[in-house]
Amino acid sequence: MLYHSTSNHQTAVRLEQAVIKGLAPDGGLYVPDALPRLPKAFLRNMSAMTLQEMSYAIAAYTLNSDVPADVLHDIVFETFNFPIPLVETASGKYVLELFHGTTMAFKDIGARFLARLLDYYRQRHPEWHTLNVLVPTSGDTGSAVANSFLGMPGVNVYVLYPRGAVNLIQRAQFATLGHNVTAVEVNGTFDDCKSLVEKAFMDDELNSVMRMTSATSINYARLVPQMIYYFWAYIQLEKLQRDTRNLVFAVPCSNLGNLASGLMAQRMGLPVKRFVSVENQNNIFYNYVKTGLFTPKPTQYSIAPALDAGCPTNFDRIIELLGSHENVCRHIHAYSYDDDQIVQTIQHTYREEQYLLDPHTAVAYRALGEDLKPGETGIALGTAHPAKLKNLMEDIIGHPVPLPDQLAHFIKGQIHVKKISNGFTAFKRLLMQT
């Protein structure tokens, strides 16, 4: 299968180049020329499969033999090696808990898949010597990517994060690792971190001496496994003998990778009635849905840091999949909530339904309550474990939030950070030196 740039449909590459480069030379995002439609017989029989079996089958359909079957099997089975339960709450809504992996955030899934696929390509090219993975983060992406590549031979990971905008637990998950992981503290915003990475990819001198790739959701390989868990939610709903005919997914949105993944699943045949995109006050996509104008703006920090993005990078993929503003509005309803509304939702759900939502899941859960119509079944994507924001959550609900062992062990490590100013010259110098 060939992949073209969202900026230029004449730019056609194979999967290997799309994954290794992450970003097209013209600055566009890679998308497949066509997404295969899953056979109806497969959709009917999915419920007989395990998570790993289903994931492998869908990945094989999606990637269309671009990865050898035995290699893809190992990648998928190693990626989906933890549970992804669908939890029914007291109000009759559902939460797909995507946070039971290594760093307890949904990004473990995409990062683990990408890391293993890149390692396969790296081993095919011994002349590369070293592959350098650059990843800006507001918290969860950096930790998921760092842990997915940790200790992998021939790979260096650089995690860029904005000073003062990542909490202790999130920072510890990537800044205590050492080995092949370098934490880079930038005196700026998350958007500044993204800009530094994008400039690095476009810098001729850096590209002449370093092989670089991205592990954010601009990389198509991040979206493939994220698409798969939408199918897994559907299967679990069937097993519970619930109505799947009018299915609505509510998706916490920042860079829109998760939403693009859902639209891909729908394109491949998953029967979804519509999606609900939900943002915090960084409501760029919400404003686009309401006005037809896509206008990035400076990032505003919030209590839902993974949603703090002022320029959603997957917007072009959304338009590529849906084609027009009119069609976007047909498939997607949009909502936006500020910090006070997020706090109210967490408190109400914890008090009335005895279910603790983290701030990112809370926006999706609240939107379901406002958007669902009679006869519809709503699933909110649960994108992070509440304990990742332990102090904040305890302030909100007034009760202790236990720290799971897999988070607690990060806190015991020693922090190692490289601090740079908010400028490309400083970042380039750091990369050239290391």
- The three-state secondary structure class of 162 is strand
Rounded to the nearest angstrom, the gap between the alpha carbon of residue 90 and the centroid of all alpha carbons in its chain is 28
Distance CA 346, CA 357 (A): 6
Q: What is the pLDDT of residue 155?
A: 93
Percent of the chain with pLDDT over 90: 76
**Digit-coded pLDDT (tens) for 292-321:** 999 999 888 899 988 988 889 899 999 999
CB contact set of 59 (below 8 Å; sequence gap of 6+): 72, 75, 76, 224, 225, 228
**Digit-coded pLDDT (tens) for 324-335:** 999 999 999 999
Average pLDDT, the chain: 93
Check if the beta carbon of residue 407 is closer than 8 Å to that of residue 384. Answer: no
Check if the beta carbon of residue 378 is closer than 8 Å to that of residue 250. Answer: yes
Q: What is the pLDDT of residue 250?
A: 98
Q: What is the pLDDT of residue 226?
A: 97
Q: CA nearest 219: which of 336, 319, 94, 118?
A: 118
Q: What is the pLDDT of residue 175?
A: 95
DSSP 275: E
Q: What is the mean pLDDT of residues 86-95?
A: 95
Element (H, E) at 86: strand 86-88
CB contact set of 400 (below 8 Å; sequence gap of 6+): 394
- For the record, the structure tokens of 104 come out as 């307890």
| Banded model confidence at residue 80, pLDDT cuts 50, 70, 90 | very high
Percent of the chain with pLDDT over 70: 100
**Digit-coded pLDDT (tens) for 219-272:** 999 999 999 999 999 999 999 888 889 999 999 999 999 999 999 999 999 999
Asked whether the predicted pLDDT for residue 14 surpasses 90, the reply is: yes
Check if the beta carbon of residue 301 is closer than 8 Å to that of residue 276. Answer: no
Q: What is the pLDDT of residue 189?
A: 85
Domains detected in the chain: 83-105+221-402 (3.40.50.1100)
Q: What is the pLDDT of residue 165?
A: 81
**Better-scored residue on pLDDT, 115 or 167:** 115
Q: What is the mean pLDDT of residues 23-30?
A: 88
Q: What is the mean pLDDT of residues 354-370?
A: 97
The string over 298-328, giving b where at least 16 C-beta atoms fall within 10 Å of a residue's C-beta and e elsewhere, is: ebebbbbbbbbbbbbbbbbbbbbbbeeeeeb
Q: What is the pLDDT of residue 344?
A: 98
| Banded model confidence at residue 217, pLDDT cuts 50, 70, 90 | confident
Distance CA 141, CA 313 (A): 14
Q: What is the pLDDT of residue 416?
A: 92
Q: Report the predicted TM-score, pTM, of the whole model to 2 decimal places.
A: 0.93
Q: What is the pLDDT of residue 81?
A: 95
Q: Looking at 148-157, 184-193, 352-361, which range is the least confident one?
A: 184-193
Distance CA 389, CA 400 (A): 12
Q: CA nearest 287: which of 331, 250, 329?
A: 329
Q: What is the mean pLDDT of residues 172-190?
A: 93
Q: What is the mean pLDDT of residues 32-36?
A: 92
The string over 237-266, giving b where at least 16 C-beta atoms fall within 10 Å of a residue's C-beta and e elsewhere, is: beeeeeebebbbbbbbbbbbbbbbbbbbbb
CB contact set of 355 (below 8 Å; sequence gap of 6+): 87, 89, 90, 95, 349
**Digit-coded pLDDT (tens) for 41-65:** 999 899 999 999 999 999 999 998 8
